Amino acid sequence: MRTRTPALLLSLVATLALAGCGGSDASSGGGGSDQETGTLTVLAAASLTETFTTLAKDFEDRHPGVQVKLAFDSSATLAEQVTQGAPADVLATADERTMQTVVDAHGTAGDARLFATNHLQMVVPRDNPAGLKKFSDLERPGVKYVVCVDSAPCGKLAATVLEATGITAKPVSEEVDVKAVLGKVELGEADAGLVYATDAVAGGDKVRPIDIPTSNENLNSYPIAALADARKPALARDWVALVTGPTGRRVLADAGFGKP
Where does this chain bind another protein (CB under 8 A)? 1-6, 74, 76-77, 80, 129, 144, 146, 149-152, 170-176, 184, 187-190
Nearer to another protein, 1 or 25 (CB): 1
Residue 166, classified by CB atoms within 10 Å of its CB into exposed (0-12), middle (13-18) or buried (19+), is exposed
The answer to whether the beta carbons of residues 260 and 221 sit under 8 Å apart is yes
Q: Which of 179, 170, 65 is nearest to 123 (CA)?
A: 179
Name the residue nearer to another protein (CB basis): 181 or 200.
Answer: 181
To another protein, the closest distance from the beta carbon of 125 in angstroms equals 9
Handedness of CA 144, 146, 150, 153 (dihedral sign): negative
**Cβ proximity to another protein, 109 vs 152, nearer residue:** 152
End-to-end CA distance of the chain: 33
Least CB distance to another protein at residue 82 (A): 13
**How far is the C-alpha of 257 from the C-alpha of 160, rounded, in Å?**
19
Residue number with CB closer to another protein (144 or 208): 144
CB of 186 to another protein, least distance (A): 10
At residue 151, the 3 state secondary structure works out as coil
- How many residues in the chain? 260
Distances (CA, A) of 51 to 36, 128, 187, 202, 256: 24, 27, 23, 10, 10
* CA–CA distance, 78 with 72 (Å, rounded to integer): 8
- Give least dist CB 151 to another protein, A: 4
What residues does 242 pair with on adjacent strands?
A: none
Within 13 Å, how many C-alpha atoms sit on residue 69's CB side? 9
Closest distance to another protein from the beta carbon of 141 (Å) = 13
- Minimum Å distance from CB 64 to another protein? 35
**Least distance from C-beta 132 to another protein, angstroms?**
15
Environment class of 127 (CB within 10 Å of its CB; exposed 0-12, middle 13-18, buried 19+): exposed
